[in-house]
Amino acid sequence: KQEVTQIPAALSVPEGENLVLNCSFTDSAIYNLQWFRQDPGKGLTSLLLIQSSQREQTSGRLNASLDKSSGRSTLYIAASQPGDSATYLCAAVHQTGANNLFFGTGTRLTVIP
């Protein structure tokens, strides 16, 4: 069974700092890996999707990387802003089966003005 782990569980940074969120997964036979943002009590917003054949994806101040061989992905946020405060979840999709997402427990980010 795929297990996804995110470290740290919580992170506080001052506004303007660059930061990295980490995600590791146990089964490298993934189809893709996604990063989501979740605001308190709300649903999930997809941020970036990296196909298994790709190494990274970028969108604005966000950059996500994928290293299948080591079972790791990182989400880099540049020049953090208070509006970035949320929980960030990574999720892996297996190569076979229903293509459902296996989620980590998330990193709760607080950007301090």
Q: Which class for 107: exposed (0-12), middle (13-18), buried (19 or more C-beta within 10 A)?
A: buried
Q: Which class for 72: exposed (0-12), middle (13-18), buried (19 or more C-beta within 10 A)?
A: middle
Query: By CB under 8 A, is residue 86 in contact with other proteins?
Result: no
Query: By CB under 8 A, is residue 98 in contact with other proteins?
Result: yes
Half-sphere exposure for 90 (CA within 13 Å, toward CB): 29
| Interface size with other proteins, residues (CB under 8 A) | 23
Q: For residue 99, what are the contacts with CB-CB under 8 A and spacing of at least 6?
A: 31, 93
The nearest distance, CB 9 to other proteins, in angstroms, is 9
Query: By CB under 8 A, is residue 104 in contact with other proteins?
Result: yes
> Which two structure tokens, joined as six digits, stand for 50?
């990296």
Stretch that binds other proteins, among 14-22, 32-40, 57-65, 77-85 (CB under 8 A): 32-40
Window 49-68: residues binding other proteins (CB under 8 A): 49
| Identified binder of other proteins from the candidate list 21, 30, 66, 101, rule CB under 8 A | 101
> In the complex, which residues of this chain contact other proteins (CB under 8 A)?
4, 32, 34, 36, 41-46, 49, 89, 91, 97-106
